[in-house]
Copies of this chain bind each other. A is one copy, B any other.
Amino acid sequence: MPLVRISLMQGREEGFGKQVGEVVYQAMTKTMNVPARDHFQVITEHDDAHLIYDPLYLEIPRTHGVVFIQITLNEGRTVEVKKAFYQVVAENLHRQLGVRLEDVFISLVEVKKENWSFGNGIAQYAQ
């Protein structure tokens, strides 16, 4: 169910965006009870005239390595679950791909379970 949009600066090594997406997917399955194989993402790369970030909002120093992760997912997860997700994403992006912890920007958009169709014109989660 989650639809993940990842936006990052262009010029990274080939496949980097997809690797970021894989880490996000693994973190969702680990912390947010997202089922295995529920993996749908759109990854885009931009130059610095088109990907805008503040280098110091909330006193967090950000660089061109910033990664925006916006996820549309079903409503109802607790604050604790969301916090666990943020932590695992940031730590694993850092550990596995060298992304700075400060450069991980995450936004969640919650929707109702009947707001999805995964194919065949059916609202699979509304059954």
Contact = CB atoms under 8 A, between A and B. Distances in A.
B119 A115 contact: no
Contacts of A110: 111-112, 115
Given A3-B68, A70-B72, A101-B120, A44 B42 contact: yes
Interface in A79-122: 79, 82-83, 86-91, 101-112, 114-122
Contacts of A121: 86-91, 101, 104
Interface residues of A, number: 66
Q: How many copies does the complex hold?
A: 3
A30 to B, nearest CB: 13
A114 B39 contact: no
Given A14-B49, A109-B111, A57 B82 contact: no
Interface of A: 3-4, 7, 14-15, 17-18, 21, 35, 37-46, 49-54, 56-58, 60, 62, 68, 70, 72, 79, 82-83, 86-91, 101-112, 114-124, 126
Chain A interface main SS type? mixed
A62 B39 CA distance: 12
A14 to B, nearest CB: 7
B14 A40 contact: no
